[in-house]
Amino acid sequence: MRNTNQDVKTIYRKDYVAPGYWVDTVEMGFDLHPQRTHVATRLHMRRNHDSAEKDLILFGEDIQLHQLRLNGVDLKRSAYQRNKERLIISNAPDTVVLEIETSIAADKNTTMSGLYVSNGNFFTQCEAEGFRKITYFPDRPDVMATYTVMLRADKKQFPVLLSNGNLIEQGDLGDGRHYAKWEDPFKKPSYLFALVAGKLVCQEEKYRLKSGRKVLLQVWVEEGNLDKTQHAMDSLKNSIRWDEERFGLELDLDRFMIVATSDFNMGAMENKGLNIFNTKYVLANSRTATDADYAGIESVVGHEYFHNWTGNRVTCRDWFQLSLKEGLTVFRDQEFSGDLVGNATGRAVKRIEDVRILRQHQFPEDAGPMSHPVRPDSYAEINNFYTVTVYEKGSEVVRMYYTLLGHEGFRKGMDLYFQRHDGQAVTCDDFRAAMADANGRDLSQFERWYSQAGTPRVKADGEYDAKRHVYRLKLSQACPATAGQDHKLPFHIPFAMGLLQQDGSEFALQLESGKAHPQAPRSIILELTQETQEFEFHHIEHEPTPSLLRNFSAPVILDFDYSDAQLAHLLAHDSDAFCRWEAGQRLAMRRLLKLVKSVQNGEALALDDMFVEALRKTLVDANLDPAFRELVMTLPSEVMLAEEMEIADPHSIHQARRFVRASLAQALKAEFLSVYQDHLTPGKYKPDAVSAGKRALKNCALSYLLEWSHESTYELAYTQYFEAENMTDKVAALSAMLHCSSALQPQYQARRAEVLQDFFDEFQHEALVIDKWFSLQACAPSTDVKQIRQLMKHKAFSLANPNRARSLIFAFCNANPAQFHAADGSAYELWGDAVIALNKLNPQVAARLARSLDRWTKYPVAQQEMMRAALQRVATTKGLSKDVAEIVNKALA
């Protein structure tokens, strides 16, 4: 596929040129046959006189071209140029009607991009550049057109025919075939095109909008799954209402459809009026889905729905602007989930979970070979840039506007954004301008959050002047060099903070000297714009404990030299739940890192009482939200520990973390037991945040209890497994039995085998549950490479199904570091085998897996050598896709 040195062409943001032609209308006719689908397309095009591009340029990939007609005349082969990626017509007139006939073998399409077949049904995925695998088209997001789509197919095999917008006609064609005609009244870029055809059933409901208008909502699934659609439907209705209330944005169509497929590369896709979802983010009932699954469905349904305005009505000018829609829409779905909980601690819990994801995944990305700005400057394959940086850091960037401008100010900015840009394809700069102009603010420095990669570090130093009653806070910022960016300029950082008194209350924060203002706020947002700034707080009667970067007000790493006593004070009292949790994490991180050293030096391990006592207080504090207590009790992950070390040592990290968990289990046995008993949630399963929080705390207690290897605790999990009435409790029991210290005890071997078999037998027809079955084993500390290879031979395993591949191979490579980094390098070989095999089937998924070695330079030299060899083996594989080539080339650069 590529030339021998596997170089891939790089595309640069600075090279943007407006399209030579606009497309006003698109008419398409599909004759759907799995082996050969015929597509007839008619485009009404007109020259864009403002463009430097004079040719008419269409993109096309892996399609057969049968006919090309321009203004009614057949184009001879000499009238256009064509290569593997494009079709170019020079000297075309200003107004063009282009008719194109193509055909596609959808059943052979294993990439899940373009038109493909899953379980006998047709689906499409066109973002980012899949439409060009259906027909020749100026497949770029700044070309927006209205679409009319005619679908024809066999009636029995494909009784349901769906596309974007409104159904305007349907009927019989005789000969066993039927048709449906769809019209989307809104202009859209081609990446939002979708069609679905097959045997599907739906749950539907007429829903009344705030304005009184009635709309039809549908959730389409395969037969047999209608008992799992209610939560998605509820989430959709909640999303519609939330966007009306919070942003004044109404659903603009008469019909809104969600369709679930078990073969999907990502989470879901916001095609106009016809969202296509991975089943993982649609199907749920208490028997098959966990609390986390329920929460995931709510946020992804929200996310895709919110795209209807942030992404569809206002879209991206080019793919470098991807975060314009993704960062903003992630921010919106995070706020939606937070608002839906309906109380302050619930919001804080959601915030902490989101920060945890950012730190666990985005910080490492930003420190590795794939580091890129929120608005990248270049790419070889755009699908590689659907990253945690574009999504989650992008959301943090949007959240900083919210923090700087306030609730109302942000809303004003959003209103102006839609007022200016509805129906347009725009840039991140346009969004920033709307925020600035609506609030009369200068946000030019803020631009650096889009253009500079890397995680900034903010160093804080505090000094108390007892004579003057002044607390001086010095803040400095720096950002490490990243690929192609050696020197960074200072960021505009909103820095929220407070000062705690000895009794745990907060000082009034007064930046001017003079008379005391006891009514001054207790929490403020400082704006750090220089490399170094100093702030003086007056009338501070005694030395305070600073509570810094409240609610994680900026995506930075904060360095402050806290004493253990200060951290314990914050953990016990801070009114800011994020900082409170953070204090506990810092206490834990400190100890874990020291213990890793002790493990490495073969020293005896010990855990201090002060730490145990601080956690005990939180664990048993009935005034605290159970969900929050669970977060505090969860130690920083092995991945996060590795990031904190100069040279990562997965085996010592695993032992150190295991030791701390076992020590806590020993010391707090009685507390864990009573917490366990106190948080049982008998009765009918409800997925709401309060019930979920109780289950989370209870199951956290259970997992600690099993760190303490004892017959009675193992019995507890065993009983919970068999008596559980919902998947959350069942999986938690199974996970504790497989993952905790006692899982390594041979005397429980038979029990483990028994529950694993039982679980498989009970759920073998529930694909999403079998994914869990694979994942649980992939992440177990006792599962080695050999066992993974064994599991790959299991009759239920398939590399071609992305969910299944992720559940076993990705889980092992990303979430079982101690085994993945086995000293003999055997897991790197497994990784290479899987990447190479996936590369042929599905380049997008292969490229995701390829990223598991991103951090290879962080490991001891011996491991590095083996990882480099594995990367090189992949890099020199024949027929490497540009997706995988870009990732491994960057890793090796």
Interface positions with Zn ion (CB under 5 A): 326, 329
| Least CB distance to ligand ARG at residue 328 (A) | 11
Q: Which CB, 125 or 218, lies closer to ligand ARG?
A: 125
- Which of 142, 263, 270, 506 touches ligand ARG by CB under 6 A? 270
Among ligand ARG, Zn ion, none, the one that 123 touches (CB under a kind-dependent 5 to 8 A) is: none
Residue 818-857 contact track with ligand ARG, rule CB under 6 A, x = bound: --------------------------x-------------
- Rounded Cα–Cα distance for residues 368 and 362 (Å): 10
Query: 48 or 378, CB closer to ligand ARG?
Result: 378
Please list every residue from 295 through 314 that binds ligand ARG, using CB under 6 A: 303-304
Contact between 128 and ligand ARG per CB under 6 A: yes
* Window of 34-42, 124-132, 243-251, 505-513 that interacts with ligand ARG by CB under 6 A: 124-132
Q: Which of the listed partners (ligand ARG, Zn ion, none) does 558 bind, with a CB threshold of 5 to 8 Å by partner kind?
A: none
Distance CA 233, CA 256 (A): 11
Six-digit token string for 261: 């497929």
Q: Is 304 a catalytic residue?
A: yes
Q: Find the shortest distance in angstroms from Cβ 124 to ligand ARG.
A: 11
- Strand 255-261 relative to strand 274-278, pairing: parallel
Question: Which of ligand ARG, Zn ion, none lies near 298, with the C-beta cut-off 5 to 8 A by kind?
Answer: none
Per the listing, tokens 């509805």 go with: 422
**Which stretch in 227-235, 262-270, 608-616, 821-829 sits in contact with ligand ARG by CB under 6 A?**
262-270
Q: Which does 128 bind (CB under 5 to 8 A by kind): Zn ion, ligand ARG, none?
A: ligand ARG
Residue 127 binds which of ligand ARG, Zn ion, none (CB < 5-8 A, kind-dependent): ligand ARG
Q: How far is the CB of 304 from Zn ion (least distance, A)?
A: 7
Tokens of 181: 């005609």
The closest of 723, 712, 779 to 748, measured between CA atoms, is: 712
639 closest CA partner among 813, 808, 788, 803: 813
CB of 303 to Zn ion, least distance (A): 6
Closest approach of ligand ARG to the CB of residue 270, in Å = 6
Q: What is the DSSP string of 717-781?
A: HHHHHHH-SSHHHHHHHHHHHHHSGGGG-GGGHHHHHHHHHHHHHHHTT-HHHHHHHHHHHHT-T
319 near ligand ARG, rule: CB under 6 A: no
In the list ligand ARG, Zn ion, none, the entry touching 184 (Cβ below 5 to 8 angstroms by class) is: none
Q: How far is the CB of 62 from ligand ARG (least distance, A)?
A: 15
Q: Is 326 in the site for ligand ARG (CB under 6 A)?
A: yes
Q: Which of 68, 195, 268, 426 binds ligand ARG (CB under 6 A)?
A: 268
Picked from Zn ion, ligand ARG, none, the partner binding residue 383 (CB below 5 to 8 A depending on kind) is ligand ARG
Report the amino acid identity of residue 845. Answer: V
Window of 261-269, 467-475, 523-531, 554-562 that interacts with ligand ARG by CB under 6 A: 261-269
- Could you tell me whether strands 56-59 and 86-89 are parallel, antiparallel, or unpaired per DSSP bridges? antiparallel
Residue 327: which of 351, 343, 310 has the closest Cα? 310
Contact 734, 779 (CB under 8 A): no
Are 578 and 551 in contact by the 8 Å Cβ rule? The answer is yes
Which of the stretches 233-241, 260-268, 487-495, 835-843 binds ligand ARG when contact is defined by CB under 6 A? 260-268
Per the DSSP assignment, residues forming a β-bridge with 471 are 464, 537
Of 222, 270, 304, 381, which one is the catalytic site residue? 304
Q: How far is CA 864 from each of CA 28, 586, 640, 847, rounded to the nearest angstrom?
A: 52, 29, 19, 20
289: tokens are 């889905």
- Least Å distance, CB 125 to Zn ion, is 13
The three-state DSSP-derived secondary structure of 134-184 is CCCECCCCCCEEEEEEEEEEECCCCCEEEECCEEEEEEECCCCEEEEEEEE
Q: How far is the CB of 349 from Zn ion (least distance, A)?
A: 23
Distance (Å, whole) CA 525 – CA 532 = 16
Residue 9 burial (10 A CB sphere; 0-12, 13-18, 19+): exposed
Of 322 and 400, nearer to ligand ARG (C-beta) is 322
Nearer to Zn ion, 286 or 329 (CB): 329
Considering only 5-13, 268-276, 456-464, 856-864, which stretch makes contact with ligand ARG by CB under 6 A?
A: 268-276
Q: Give the span between the Cα atoms of 430 and 437, in whole angstroms.
A: 10
Distance, CA of 544 to chain centre: 38
User: Of residues 39, 75, 80, 127, which one binds ligand ARG by CB under 6 A?
Assistant: 127
| CA-closest candidate to residue 376, choices 320, 432, 428 | 320
Which residues within the stretch 376-405 sit at the binding site for ligand ARG (CB under 6 A)?
Answer: 383, 386
Helices 727-739 & 767-778 angle (0-180, nearest 10): 20
CB of 307 to ligand ARG, least distance (A): 6
Cis peptide before 92 (omega within 30 of 0): no
Q: How far apart are CA 242 and CA 330, in angstroms?
A: 15
- Residues 781-820, interacting with ligand ARG (CB under 6 A): none
Specify the 3-state DSSP secondary structure of 275: strand
CB-based contact 107:117 (threshold 8 Å): yes
Nearer to Zn ion, 312 or 477 (CB): 312
| Window 621-680: residues binding ligand ARG (CB under 6 A) | none
Instruction: Give me the least distance between CB of 132 and ligand ARG, in Å please.
Output: 13
Q: Which stretch binds ligand ARG (CB under 6 A): 123-131, 463-471, 664-672, 874-882?
A: 123-131
Catalytic residues: 304
Binding site for ligand ARG (CB under 6 A): 125, 127-128, 265-270, 303-304, 326, 383, 386, 844
